[in-house]
């Protein structure tokens, strides 16, 4: 089909609200108009489906409930991922500096299987962040010392999550193993998979994108030898039982799988965290009673699964 120039005209909030109602959206005109002014048509469009004829088959209260739930879910995910990011980065920098000193990251020979241009780009990004930083600890360092680079235990405070993931995947395996095992994971490959998935989720949350029923391209790998992952729900006994078929109850391409690995890591990092309880409370809120858990990749009775105990 040949492409055509974009020709949609500008529509006022009144026009947009009327358009939605004409297309089958059920709801109060004034409420719909106000929400469009607050949030925007394009952002809310991700929450309603249409027929082949372009008709909308839902009511606005349902759409708004999904939007509010999604917003709260983003905040829950950001809270967990922040804790995980800081904990992983701190362990990684600690073990790396223990082996190579505070400026060991400036020597490419201290890395494993990394292309020189990729390493140089990573170092340059850290240096650029240091020069632009207004953090007092950074400014104090350059005021007192003649070094042109920050020691890694200071520079890491300027790393974004993507830089931390790149750093982890580039260091020697012995350091990777120390970090992974400190988080209850048997292999660095597994942790790398989880970090890359969490980085994508974190970016989506930071840009206020839809997350609750989204499919993720980067899926977290499953610990092959951890029996806790391989349970199925027995309808007769109404219990989770170990599944010898190696079936995983959670859809790891969905947000339910992401929530599960967040909880798994938080148990290792912050055993007293109330994150799980706050997540359960969010999902139990009466206003979100009609949110389909299966759309998130969460099975029925998922809160009783051994991984969530």
* pLDDT at residue number 204: 96
pLDDT at 52 over 80: no
Within 8 A by CB and 6+ apart from 31, the residues are: 60
**For the segment 231-270, what is each residue's pLDDT rounded down to a tens digit?**
999 888 889 998 877 789 999 999 999 999 999 999 999 9
**For the segment 181-227, what is each residue's pLDDT rounded down to a tens digit?**
999 999 999 999 999 999 999 999 999 999 999 999 999 999 888 88
**Token pair 């790398």 in the structure block, residue:** 192
Report the b/e string of 211-222 with b at 16+ CB within 10 A.
Answer: bbbbebeebbbb
**Token pair 């309880």 in the structure block, residue:** 277
Assess contact for 56 and 24: CB atoms under 8 A: yes
Rounded mean pLDDT of 61-80? 96
* pLDDT at residue number 79: 97
* pLDDT at residue number 164: 96
**For the segment 269-286, what is each residue's pLDDT rounded down to a tens digit?**
998 999 999 999 999 999
**For the segment 146-176, what is each residue's pLDDT rounded down to a tens digit?**
999 999 999 999 999 999 999 999 999 999 9
Tell me the residue ranges of DSSP E strands in 147-274: 231-234, 239-242
Of the ranges 118-122, 166-170, 287-291, which one carries the lowest mean pLDDT score? Answer: 287-291
Q: Count the Cβ atoms, other than its own, within 10 Å of residue 175.
A: 21
Assess contact for 170 and 119: CB atoms under 8 A: yes
């Amino acid at each position: 089909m040949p492409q055509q120039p974009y020709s949609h005209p500008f529509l006022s909030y009144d026009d947009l609200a009327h358009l939605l109602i004409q297309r089958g959206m059920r709801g109060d005109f004034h409420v719909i108009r106000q929400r469009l002014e607050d949030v925007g048509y394009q952002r809310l469009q991700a929450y309603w489906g249409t027929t082949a004829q372009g008709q909308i088959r839902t009511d606005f209260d349902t759409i708004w409930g999904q939007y509010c739930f999604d917003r709260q879910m983003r905040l829950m995910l950001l809270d967990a991922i922040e804790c995980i990011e800081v904990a992983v980065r701190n362990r990684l920098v600690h073990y790396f500096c223990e082996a190579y000193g505070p400026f060991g990251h400036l020597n490419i020979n201290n890395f494993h299987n990394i292309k020189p241009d990729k390493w140089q780009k990573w170092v340059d990004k850290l240096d650029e962040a240091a020069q632009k930083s207004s953090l007092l600890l950074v400014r104090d360092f350059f005021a007192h010392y003649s070094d042109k680079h920050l020691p890694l235990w200071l520079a890491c405070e300027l790393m974004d999550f993507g830089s931390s993931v790149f750093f982890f995947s580039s260091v020697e395996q012995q350091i990777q193993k120390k970090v992974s095992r400190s988080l209850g994971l048997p292999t660095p490959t597994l942790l790398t998979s989880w970090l890359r998935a969490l980085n994508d989720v974190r970016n989506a949350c930071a840009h206020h994108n839809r997350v609750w029923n989204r499919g993720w391209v980067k899926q977290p790998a499953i610990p092959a030898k951890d029996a806790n992952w391989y349970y199925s729900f027995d309808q007769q006994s109404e219990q989770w039982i170990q599944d010898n078929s190696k079936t995983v109850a959670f859809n790891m391409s969905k947000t339910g799988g992401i929530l599960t690995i967040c909880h798994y890591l938080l148990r290792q990092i912050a055993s007293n965290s109330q994150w799980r309880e706050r997540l359960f409370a969010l999902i139990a809120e009466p206003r979100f009673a009609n949110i389909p858990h299966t759309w998130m990749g969460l099975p029925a009775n998922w809160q009783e699964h051994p991984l969530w105990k």
